[in-house]
Structures are given as C-alpha cells and as structure tokens.
Amino acid sequence: MQNTPIRFGLIGYGLFGAHHARAIHATAGAVLSAVAVPSASSRHAARTAYPHADIHEDYRQLLDRSSVDVVDIVVPNHLHYEIALAALDAGKHVLLEKPMALSVAHCDKLLSAGRKQNCLIAVNHELRHSSLWGQAKRLVDDGVIGAPLHALVELSRFPYRRGSQGWRWDIARVGNWILEEPIHFFDLARWYLAARGEPVSVYARANSRHSDHPELCDNFSAIVNFQNGAYALVSQTLAAFEHHVTAKIAGTEGTIWAHWSGPDARSDRPTYRLRYGLGDDLHEVDVQKPAGELVELADQIAMMTRCIGEHRQPLCTGQDGRWSTLLCLAAQRSIDKGRVVTTDEVAG
C-alpha cells in the first residue's frame, strides 16, 4: 500500500485538462500539486478550482518543483515531445496524452530519456482501461474465439471541434488527423492481435469533405497486416453524428463483437454491449462497470498512481505509444504514396 501521495503536476488546463485535474483530485493516493497553463483565464479557473495547488504560467516552473513526482501532459500534439522530454530530463515520471510525439525519432528519444532517468512513461490510450474494450481483450486472451485472425475497429462521429486557437485544424500543430482518433483504434487492434506478432505493413485511403482542406482525413480506412497472416481494419468517418464505436475480433472459433454509442465520447449515459460466439452458440457478457472516456481517464490516473508507487509498468507503455504513432505515420505515408508502406520504412 502506498502511504505517501503521488504528487501530480498537470501541464495544460483546457477542456480536457480540466477533466484530468478532476480525475487526479478524485484519485485515492494522488494529489494535484501544481498546474501550468499559459492562458490567464485558465490559470484563474485552475486556481479557483484547486486553491491548494501551485499555478504557473510556464511549464518549466512546474518542472523545477521538487513537489512533483509525475507530470500529466495535456497540450496540443506538437508540444508533446518538447514538454515530455523536459519532464523526463527533470527526473519526472510522465503521463502523456496521445500521440506520444509527431515522429518515431522523437518517440525513440523519449524512450531513451525515460530509461536514462529510470522514469515511467505512460501514454493515455485510455480505451485499454475500459470495462468494455478491456473485457474484449480479456476474452481474446481467454481463448473464447480461438486464435485471433482479424480485428475491425470503426468510429462514426460528429466533426472535430477546432480546439484552442484552431490547433486541431492546423496540420503543423496536430501532425495529421490520423493521430487524433484513429490512433486509439490502431492501439486497440495491435493489442487485440498481440498473439499474432507485430504489424508489418499498412495500406490506407482517405478523403476530405473540406475542399479547402484536402489534408484533413474526414473519411479514413487502413488495413494493417500482421505477422502470420492476421490483419486489422481501422476505419473512421467524421461526417456523421453522435459518437459510435464498434470492434469485432474474429478468430478460428468465433467472433467477439462490442459496440458503444453516446451523444459524445464523454457521455455519462451511453449504450454498450459485448457478445461473442459462433453460429447459434452466442454468449452475452454483462459489462457491469460503466464504459466511457471519463471513467477510463479516472482509471488511467489511478493506474499511474499505483504504477509509480509499486514501481511497475503501466498498461500502455511508451513502447506501445511509439507503435501507435508509427502506425498512424505509416498510414499517412500510404495515403500520400498510394501504396502499401511497411512499418520498417517508417521505423527506420
């Protein structure tokens, strides 16, 4: 049992950063020690909500504090590498929103810095913590569908919001739209098919409904080939409504089928279902714990707290974060080149 609270420093206090702060504050064994955010209005909001925390304008001031054990980084994508590297160099554990970085080389530098400083890196692929998507993984591992051969993960949702200062529609800052949400589904597909080895190639297609922004992938699909003949299909459309995710994992002895629907990913009143079977042999799984982004975020914070206290690796490591980033970059290269792209091409 961890007796000394794990002290979190939160960098970023926008819409989702505020959710992170609430999750930290509510987690047993954790304390929100400091917040850094450049916006004066956000600093005022953080100071009002958490008067016990030290509030900074510059994240470097937060990193200088000895009263911070782990840094939770919730900022636009293009800042992930810079801030995470500074945090690791300062000897802080890191919980990093996806994507881990905008290049594989930067992911590798973060991994190297983590090893050098003996610091944990966890990437917030929160779906791994889900009572729904996590239970699907446990069913795969329990062998209920035999050897896994194929995974389909599909998202249909309303268009992305532009984000603070329009960063999400700026490719220079976001990297690409595949790094926004499909990255979660690449991670799930790789997780579900882990028994088949690592991905070896990607073929992707995409188009945009924005004639003035053809680089924005509103509609996106990718086939990911694994070792030993297994493959996954990851697909997304942003030209829809609400938020609907489906995962199907097929194996030699049947299929697992999970789906989740709500007005948005943070809905507290979603509908979801998990079944598996083959032919008439159908089984319904009772998912008793709620499934949804904010529940999974809370579980991610609690897990990070335990991992630091118990000196063990998180459920989604920096190496996992590197793989999901690599697959997104391979998919974008495939779209640009119009051909299959091997993972070795991007990793090298």
Structure tokens at 324: 């999901």
Q: What is the pLDDT of residue 302?
A: 97
User: Which residues, other chains included, contact 286 with Cβ-Cβ below 8 Å and sequence gap of 6+?
Assistant: none
Read off φ and ψ for residue 314, nearest 5 degrees. Answer: -75, 170
- What is the distance between the alpha carbons of residues 99 and 105, in angstroms, rounded to a whole number? 13
pLDDT in tens, 270-307: 999 999 999 999 999 999 899 999 999 999 999 999 99
CATH of the domain at 62: 3.40.50.720
| pTM value > 0.85 | yes
Query: Which residues are 55's β-sheet partners?
Result: 35
Query: Which residues are 232's β-sheet partners?
Result: 151, 224
My answer on whether 236 and 260 are in the same domain is yes
Q: What is the pLDDT of residue 2?
A: 56
- Any domain includes 314: no
| pLDDT greater than 90 at residue 169 | no
Which residue range forms the structural domain that includes residue 75? Answer: 6-126
- Least confident window among 20-29, 178-187, 209-218, 330-339: 209-218
| pLDDT greater than 70 at residue 119 | yes
Based on its alpha-carbon atoms, the radius of gyration of the chain, rounded to whole angstroms, reads 20
Sheet of strand 54-56, all strands in order from the earlier edge strand to the far edge: 54-56, 30-36, 6-11, 70-73, 93-96, 121-123
| pLDDT greater than 90 at residue 109 | yes
Structure tokens at 235: 């697909």
- Any domain includes 315: no
pLDDT in tens, 50-95: 999 999 999 999 999 999 999 999 999 999 999 999 999 999 999 9
- Give the confidence band of 174 by pLDDT, cuts at 50, 70, 90: confident
- What is the distance between the alpha carbons of residues 121 and 346, in angstroms, rounded to a whole number? 22
pLDDT in tens, 300-329: 999 999 999 999 999 999 999 999 999 999
- What is the distance between the alpha carbons of residues 4 and 297, in angstroms, rounded to a whole number? 22
Q: What is the pLDDT of residue 288?
A: 86
Give the total number of structural domains in the chain: 2
My answer on whether 133 and 249 are in the same domain is yes
- Any domain includes 311: no
- Any domain includes 309: no
Helix (H, G, I), strand (E, B) or coil at 114: helix
My answer on whether 145 and 285 are in the same domain is yes
My answer on whether 79 and 179 are in the same domain is no
> Burial level of 65, CB count in 10 A (0-12/13-18/19+)?
middle
My answer on whether 100 and 240 are in the same domain is no
Q: What is the mean pLDDT of the chain?
A: 95
My answer on whether 113 and 83 are in the same domain is yes
CATH of the domain at 277: 3.30.360.10
Closest by CA to 210, choosing from 260, 259, 168, is 168
| pLDDT greater than 90 at residue 31 | yes
| pLDDT greater than 70 at residue 115 | yes
- Any domain includes 318: no
- What is the distance between the alpha carbons of residues 57 and 63, in angstroms, rounded to a whole number? 12
End-to-end CA distance of the chain: 42
My answer on whether 134 and 108 are in the same domain is no
Q: What is the pLDDT of residue 165?
A: 79
- Any domain includes 142: yes
Q: What is the pLDDT of residue 1?
A: 47
- What is the distance between the alpha carbons of residues 259 and 171, in angstroms, rounded to a whole number? 30
Structure tokens at 172: 């220079």
| pLDDT greater than 50 at residue 5 | yes
Domain boundary (75, 97, 126) is at 126
- Give the confidence band of 161 by pLDDT, cuts at 50, 70, 90: confident
- Give the confidence band of 175 by pLDDT, cuts at 50, 70, 90: confident
Structure tokens at 160: 């992305």
- What is the distance between the alpha carbons of residues 102 and 111, in angstroms, rounded to a whole number? 14
Give the strand pairing for 6-11 and 341-342. Answer: unpaired
DSSP 165: G
pLDDT in tens, 37-53: 999 999 999 999 999 99
Query: Which residues are 258's β-sheet partners?
Result: 247, 274
Within the chain, residue ranges assigned H as helices are: 15-26, 40-49, 59-63, 80-89, 104-117, 133-142, 171-174, 182-192, 293-310, 318-337, 343-347
